Amino acid sequence: MARKLMKGCEAIGEAAIKANCKLFFGYPITPQNEIPEYMSRRLPQVGGTFVQAESEVAASNMLYGAAGAGERVFTSSSSPGISLMQEAVSYMAGSELPVVIVNIMRAGPGLGGILPSQADYFQSTKGGGHGDYRLLVLAPSSVQEAVDLMQDAFDLADHYRNPVMVIADGLIGQMMEPVEFKEDRQPCRSLPSKDWATTGWKGEGRPRAIVNSLFLDPNLLERHNEKLTAKYAEMARNEVRVAEYFTDEDYDLLVVAYGSVARVCLSAIRQLRAEGKRVALVRPISLFPFPTEVIERAANKAGRVLVVELSTGQMLEDVRMAVGKDFPVAFHGRTGGNLVTPDEAREKILAQLAAREASR
Amino acid sequence: MKDKLAFGYPEGLTTGGTHYCPGCTHGIIHRLIAEVIDELGVRERTVGVSPVGCAVLAYNYFSTDYQEASHGRAPAVATGIKRARPDLMVYTYQGDGDLASIGMAEIVHAANRGEKFTVVFVNNAIYGMTGGQMAPTTMPGQVTSTSPRGRELDLAGHPIRMVELISTLHTPAFVARGTVIRPLQAVQTKELLRRAFQYQKEGKCFSMVEILSTCPTNWGMPPAEALNWLEKTMMPYYPLGVFKTPEEGVDRAPLPLCGLQDGGK
Amino acid sequence: MQHEMIFAGFGGQGVLLIGKMIAYAGLNSGKEVSWLPSYGPEMRGGTANCTVVVADEPVGSPVVASPWAVVAMNLPSLDKFEPTVAPGGVLVINTSLINRPAVRTDVRVVNVAANEICNELGNPKGANMVTVGCFVGATEVVPVQQMEDLIRETFAAKPKLIDVNVECFRRGLEVGRAQKAV
């Protein structure tokens, strides 16, 4: 299939349709309105259903019901709306429901602004709702990668019976890039049958399906938590996704960045390498599970790390955890919807290279 | 001639006890729903939804597939199920705090979209599960654990009449109120439930049946007295009847504006 | 080879559209491209701009601080983006709405009276087509034929608008070619 120029938000919607998702429930919020608009146009064409819910609270609970009935379903929102969904996210994690949630992040806290941000890293990777749970969190850095990760997200959700969150900043949502939808795409994981779904109980063939996260007996609830924890450990073993740039060459500084910020850093690094500066980049694609081992190894080779984010330092904590407290880790962050430019990244990288030189 | 079973245990219910308090009318309502499911022959494609509240464990009592919902969100969950699988028969079983307080947005919008599921709204004028706090349907002057001086209207407003509220919506729907405190009224309420489920079965409309119910434990009175209290206190404020059907016209004529032309007299 | 461009003007002048056309033309001629709009309150009646990158290799940063070219359709856009043009780059100025000359001397300045030209051609909304034509004529950043095809595609639903917009584009093209770097 030929490459087509598509806006990130619309490409995300089309990817869901290609993943055979026939249901979308959502509520308008900038900067992701192109997703519900696209779904409202496209889903009826493929026999699907679009519902504009009365709130993100309702939309996320519609997701719960539809996933509980065994269908592929997704919603999208932006930061304040995702906050409203956290109740249902916790219930869906507790009830082990496979859903896909897209967060086109905007700057916060509170109403904040509508420009790009990566400040929902904690919310998505550490559990934004109540209780012990984890989401699989994927962060694309291009429109094509958003398409690929969206399709994988549905497979991963079904495989693990777990909510998967795709987080991108407003930049990825709003920009247009060429995309290609692969013909004959195969699921990226095995898809177990959904015999747990509430499709109507015939009295035989399977136990009565009850979608539920209520366990009043502490021992039963503890066992349920242990089961979930084992699942999250399995995700951590099998689902780390990471892109490495120049890490098999010699380098004096490792940059860690994700999403669109990683592209900006990569532009600066390519330019610097052409000038003889030795810099490498690790770009986490899965934020949970976090590529701890890759970062630890790559960081040790450099002896110095620079983390760049559109936040005041959230992924930074996971990088610090990966390299240990005595390791020199510098940070550069922008907030408020301001972006990191290649020149700015270049300047910060050069400063770290100079600091490394000075500390020798 | 074959023997005909005149009375038996509904297939729609599981066997074994419930956790409901003595004198509580949830048990009767459960049975009526189960009988209607049996009689319509839809048990194998029925999915119930219960949110937080006294019926939080209802999935243990109905022998159908079931989904637990968070507090107030059952109409959203039911929307998801019904939109995903329109062939299923879906109902929510919600209390007054759940439906009329925290879940007000979800019930109004599900009704207004005309979602084709059935809502069973059990109104006992109090929060039961959490131990007797004031509900949006608590009666004026009624003492609860959070209205120790009785519901004060200047602070808490008047009780919300949900079927009246929902029946002002234009989208065709079946909206009715019954009770189960006397055998005849239980039979009438079963008929309301049957119609509500029948409309759903025919793919017609959103349907909602409010059922006035007692809570002897949290009202602090013996069951028989609770029945009388409901009849004397709640029924005059919450009249029984069918408020709306999909067949009839729905808009009431507004009262004329008074006093605009005659100087406000 | 990589070209970064910013197209800027009032909301409603069609700068997002001409940026998109350059991106499509790049894609259709086998290049890698990205198109990034400004979005937000400034969309509503204020200034609008988009950043387009056309490159041989996959596009790195879609955010560009010092673009190779700036196309300014009104004065606020010139004020905002003139200082950012990379030395040796291109600055296209719509002189119909901009009453000052360029300050920069280290960039190639291309002038076009876009509104006068489109008014003259009876297509008062075609200033963006004149401007993008001028830009393509002065730089040959994308093939002319690709652009004309895109105009036909863009206005396919309103056939009456096709020819006048192609005409606007061609007039712009001439103006641009006349100012082409030697």
Provide ipTM, 2 decimals: 0.93
The answer to whether B85 contacts chain A (CB < 8 Å) is yes
* Mutate which: C18, C49, C56, C63, vs A, most A CBs within 10 A: C63
Contact at CB, A66 and B70, closer than 8 angstroms: no
Q: Give the start-to-end residue ranges of the domains of chain C.
A: 2-178
Q: Which residues pair with A307 in a beta bridge?
A: A256, A331
User: pLDDT tens digit string along A67-116?
Assistant: 999 999 999 999 999 999 999 999 999 999 999 999 999 999 999 999 99
The predicted-structure confidence for A103-157, as pLDDT tens digits, reads as follows 999 999 999 999 999 999 999 999 899 999 999 999 999 999 999 999 999 999 9
Which residue do the tokens 């009431």 mark?
B252
Contact (Cβ atoms closer than 8 angstroms) between residue B226 and residue B25: no
Residue in A51, A87, A202 closest to B44 by CB:
A202
Chain A interface includes B92 (CB < 8 A): no
What pLDDT score does B255 carry? 65
Closest CA to B132 of B50, B219, B201, B233: B219
Residue A12 pLDDT exceeds 90 = yes
In the predicted model, what is the mean pLDDT of residues A278-284?
A: 98
List C-alpha distances in Å: A310 to A120, A169, A171, A315, B175: 10, 9, 11, 10, 51
**What is the reported pLDDT for B264?**
46
**Which two three-digit tokens encode residue B213?**
């119910």
CATH number 3.40.920.10 is the correct assignment for the domain at C2-178 = yes
Nearest CB to A66 within list B69, B75, B83:
B83
**Contact C87/C23 with Cβ under 8 angstroms?**
no
> CB–CB of A65 and B49 under 8 A?
yes
Q: Within an 8 Å CB–CB cutoff, is residue A115 touching chain C?
A: yes
**Closest Cβ opposite residue A175 in set C27, C34, C65:** C34
Are B and A close enough to touch, i.e. 3+ CB pairs under 8 angstroms? Answer: yes
Q: Render each residue's pLDDT in chain C as its tens digit; 182 residues.
A: 899 999 999 988 999 999 999 999 999 999 999 999 986 554 445 679 999 999 999 999 998 989 999 999 999 999 999 999 999 999 999 999 999 999 999 999 999 999 999 999 999 999 999 999 999 999 999 999 999 999 999 999 999 999 999 999 999 999 999 998 65
Q: Which residue's structure tokens are 């028969």?
A: B89
pLDDT digits (tens, 9 = 90+) for A316-329: 999 999 999 899 99
* Nearest beta carbon to residue A176 from set C34, C39, C41: C34
Contact B77 A213 (CB under 8 A): no
Chain B residues within an 8 Å CB radius of A212: 59, 66-68
- In this prediction, the residues of chain B whose per-residue pLDDT falls under 50 are 264-265
Strands (E) across A196-246 are located at: 210-211, 242-245
Task: Count Cβ neighbours within 10 Å for each residue of C150-166 and write b for 16 or more, e otherwise.
Answer: bbeebbeeeeebbebbb
Determine the residue of chain A that is closest to C51 in CA distance. A175
Residues of chain C with a CB closer than 8 angstroms to some CB in chain A: 20, 23-24, 27, 32-37, 39-41, 58-66
At CA C2, angle to CA C1 and CA C5, rounded to 5?
150
Q: Residue A195 burial (CB < 10 Å; 0-12/13-18/19+)?
A: exposed
Fold of B26-244: Rossmann fold (3.40.50)
Minimum-distance CB partner of A51 among B69, B77, B83: B83
Q: In angstroms, what separates the C-alpha of A23 from chain B's closest C-alpha?
A: 7
Predicted confidence at residue B265, as pLDDT, reads: 46
Question: CA-CA distances (angstroms) from residue A27 to A30, A78, A150, A228, B117?
Answer: 10, 10, 19, 30, 22
Rounded to the nearest angstrom, the minimum Cα separation between B61 and chain A is 12
Given this model, what pLDDT does residue A105 score? 97
| DSSP count for chain B of H helices, then E strands | 10, 7
Instruction: Kindly list the residues from chain A whose CB atom is less than 8 angstroms away from the CB atom of residue B81.
Output: 65-66, 68-69, 198
User: Cβ of B67 under 8 Å from any chain A Cβ?
Assistant: yes
Q: Tell me which chain C residue has its CA closest to the CA of residue A340.
A: C63
d(CA A51, CA A36): 9
Give the number of beta-carbon pairs within 8 Å between A and C: 74
What is chain A's mean pLDDT, rounded?
A: 97
DSSP structure class, residue B144: B
Instruction: Locate A349 and state its tokens.
Output: 């990288």
Touching partners of A (3+ C-beta pairs < 8 Å): B, C
Residues of chain B with Cβ-Cβ distance to A87 below 8 Å are 70
- Say if the Cβ atoms of B79 and A67 lie within 8 Å: no
Statement: residue A159 has pLDDT above 80: yes
Q: How many CB atoms lie within 10 A of CB A247?
A: 17
Q: Give the residue extent of every domain in chain B.
A: 26-244
- CA distance linking residue A144 with residue C24, whole number of Å: 16
- Report the residue from A23, A61, A201 with minimal CB separation from B77: A61
Q: Is A241 an 8 Å CB contact of chain C? A: no
pLDDT at B28: 97
